[in-house]
Amino acid sequence: MLTTIHGVNPTLVEAIGYTGSALVILSLLQKSILRLRAIGLVASLTFLLYSISIEAYPIAVVNVVAASIHLYYLRKLLRRKSEVFRILRLRPDGRYLRYFLDFYKEDIATRYQPDFVYEPAPDVIAVFMLRDLVPAGLLVARLHGDSSFEILLDYVIPQYRDFKLAKWLYSQESGLVAETNSRVAWARVTTPEQEEYFTKIGFKPDKTPLVPERYSYSI
């Protein structure tokens, strides 16, 4: 039986311990640094309560330190309002573009565009989304003559999947309108994941006889 203080029910203490363990595992599964820190903070505080309940004070000290570290970096992440976003148009046959696509090809195939194959063409452009000058995402699009472009690939690397890039990219501030000479972005939405993603960033169903799965957004 667990040794407790202040008359705390041992079953409750054990439940707190299991909850802390589950939260640690959940934090390690996060691809977003912000979510990892937030869940890690809650996990540390839960383990702090657990360790005090069983009078394991060395463990309590460790979790005070861990919670402080999580809190420090959370405050830094939340206070960063001056992130710099840029787009950078790439050479269609650029080697770094090929390296990028090759490195993330499995993630692209399983989560984003299962049938995506990059083929340079005169009407196809590739644009890096830079976040603090880090290549955090890639847009590949086909330009059409009706002031629109078709999204062939909209991909963000795991560390930056918080929708900030996408919401900025399809805004007038990004410069994408000038880069593409287009004001309407559209995509063929064929999977539930794509539907969830494009809906979250403001795209609406815009079916046509030729493209019934079309979703579009006016920039």
Provide mean pLDDT across the span 8-25.
86
What percentage of the chain exceeds 90 in pLDDT? 61
Q: Which region holds residue 55: left if phi is over 0, alpha if psi is between -120 and 50, else beta? A: left
For residue 136, CA distances in Å to 33, 104, 212 come to 14, 12, 31
54 pLDDT above the threshold of 80: yes
CATH class of 85-218: alpha beta
Give residue 2's pLDDT: 47
17 pLDDT above the threshold of 70: yes
Helices (H) and strands (E) in the chain, counts: 8, 7
Rounded Cα–Cα distance for residues 116 and 108 (Å): 8
Domain boundaries, the chain: 10-79, 85-218
List, in sequence order, the alpha helices (H) in 141-202: 164-169, 176-180, 192-200
Provide mean pLDDT across the span 40-48.
94
Provide mean pLDDT across the span 118-146.
93
Which helix (H) or strand (E) segment holds residue 131: the answer is strand 124-131
| 173 vs 5 pLDDT, higher one | 173
| 80 vs 97 pLDDT, higher one | 97
| 88 vs 81 pLDDT, higher one | 88
Provide mean pLDDT across the span 63-80.
87
For residue 23, CA distances in Å to 16, 81, 143 come to 11, 28, 46
Rounded Cα–Cα distance for residues 7 and 151 (Å): 61
For residue 169, CA distances in Å to 49, 78, 177, 209, 212 come to 43, 21, 10, 28, 25
> For the chain, percent helix, then strand, then coil, each to nearest 5?
50, 20, 30
Span 106-125, pLDDT tens digits: 999 887 788 899 999 999 99
Rounded Cα–Cα distance for residues 53 and 94 (Å): 59
